[in-house]
């Protein structure tokens, strides 16, 4: 969850803390590669960045979407080719 470190009127970008850092790092790297190599995820990232998201925020959103797709693939026992991100 994002951690707020505000002070008065100062409101810097939030940082993610807690949870499982190894899993979080792996998901970030998977999201980065998915947004570079898969056309559907690349289009999703481009749409987010065009809407004003910072690049790292867009990559985190791709990682979350990738996790959702992977969970659906496991649930339905389908290959990625049949999954719809």
1-41 tens-digit pLDDT? 666 777 777 777 777 777 788 998 999 999 999 999 999 99
The pLDDT score that the predictor gives to residue 26 is 95
pTM for this prediction = 0.79
Number of residues that this document lists for the chain: 85
Query: Residue for token digits 């792996």?
Result: 26
Task: Name residues whose C-beta falls within 8 Å of residue 58's C-beta, 6 or more positions apart in sequence.
Answer: 35, 45, 48, 49
What distance in Å separates the CA atoms of residue 82 and residue 73, rounded to the nearest whole number? 9
d(CA 67, CA 34): 11
Element (H, E) at 3: strand 2-3
């Amino acid at each position: 969850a994002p951690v707020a470190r505000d002070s008065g009127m100062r409101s810097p970008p939030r940082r993610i803390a807690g949870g499982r850092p190894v899993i979080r790092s792996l998901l970030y790297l998977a999201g980065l590669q998915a947004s570079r190599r898969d056309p559907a995820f690349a289009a999703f990232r481009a749409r987010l960045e065009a809407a004003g998201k910072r690049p790292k925020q867009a990559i985190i959103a791709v990682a979350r979407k990738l996790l959702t797709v992977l969970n659906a693939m496991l649930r339905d026992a389908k290959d990625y080719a049949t999954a719809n991100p």
